[in-house]
């Protein structure tokens, strides 16, 4: 059971949050110009690192804001928590 520091509300129990998968994926601006393979890369392919992972969480049972967490997938330690607007995307 993780303890997650919501950037808006403070530290809360994991049970208040929903997981949103890998962070930092930008939606292509012109999807029609992409090949099926390129679109599939955006749609399906996700990093699966052993180590630090940038991921989205939503404080579902609280302020309902999405934010970006860096969590180590081995130790589960959370090393940073940022608002979405503070993250530079690809």
Partner 1 sequence: MQKYRLAEGGLVDRSQALTFQFHGNTYQGYVGDSLASALLANGVSIVGRSFKYHRPRGIVGAGAEEPNAIVQLGVGAESIPNAKATQIELFEGLTAKATRGWPSPGFDLGAINDLLSPVFGAGFYYKTFMFPKNFWEHYEHFIRRAAGFGLAPTENDPHRYAHHNAHCDILVVGGGPSGLMSALVSGATGARVLLVDDQWQFGGSLLSQSQIIDGKPGTEWVSSVVQKLQQMENVTCLSRATAFGFYDHNFVTVLEQSAPGSKKPADIRQRLWRVRAQRVILAQGAFERPLVFSNNDRPGVMLASAVSTYVNRYGVCPGNRGLVFCNNDSAYETAFELKAAGADVVAIIDSRKNIAESLSQKAVDAGIPLHPGSVVTNVMGKRQVKKAVVSKWDGKNVSATPHVLECNLIAVSGGFSPAVHLHSQSGGKNKWDEVNECFVPGDNPQGAVSVGSGNGTWLLRDCLNEALDVAVQVAGGLGFSDTAESVPDVADGMGPSVEPLWRVPTLDLPEKAPKQFVDFQTDVSVSDIRLAAREGFHNVEHVKRYTALGFGTDQGKLSNINGMAILAETLGKTIPEVGTTTFRPAYTPVSFGACAGENTGELYDPVRKTAIHSWHEQATSQFEVVGQWLRPWYFPKSGETLDQSVARECMAVRNSVGIMDASTLGKIDVFGPDAATFLERMYTHDIGKMKPNKCAYGILLGEDGMVMDDGVMARLEENHYYLTTTTGGAAAVYSWLEFWLQTEWPELEVYLTSVTDHYSTIAVAGPNSRKVVQAAGCDIDIEKTAFPFMSVRKATVADVPVDLFRVSFSGELAYEINVDSRYALHIWRHLVQVGGEYDITPYGTETMHVLRAEKGFPIIGQDTDGSITPVDLGMNWLLSNSKDFVGKRSLSREDSCRDDRKQFVGLVPVDGTSVVREGAQLITNTQVGPPTPMRLGSILIIIFAFFAINTVVFAE
Question: First vs last Cα of the chain: how many Å apart?
Answer: 30
In the bound state with partner 1, the residue whose beta carbon lies nearer, of 31 and 49, is 31
Q: Rule CB under 8 A: say whether 65 interacts with partner 1.
A: yes
Q: Are 23 and 68 in contact (CB under 8 A)?
A: yes
State how far the Cα of 69 lies from the Cα of 34, in Å rounded to an integer. Answer: 29
> How far apart are the C-alpha atoms of 31 and 40, rounded to whole Å?
11
66, 70, 81, 82: which one binds partner 1 (CB under 8 A)? 66
Q: How far is the CB of 60 from partner 1 (least distance, A)?
A: 7
Residue 6-35 contact track with partner 1, rule CB under 8 A, x = bound:
-------xx---x-x--x--xxx--xx-x-
């Amino acid at each position: 059971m993780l303890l997650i520091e919501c950037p808006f509300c403070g530290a809360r129990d994991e049970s208040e949050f929903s997981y949103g998968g890998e962070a930092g994926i930008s939606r292509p601006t012109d999807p029609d110009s992409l090949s099926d393979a390129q679109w599939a890369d955006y749609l399906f392919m996700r990093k699966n690192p052993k180590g630090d992972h940038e991921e989205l969480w939503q404080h579902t049972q609280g302020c309902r804001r999405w934010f970006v967490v860096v969590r180590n997938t081995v130790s589960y330690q959370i090393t940073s928590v940022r608002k979405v607007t503070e993250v530079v995307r690809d």
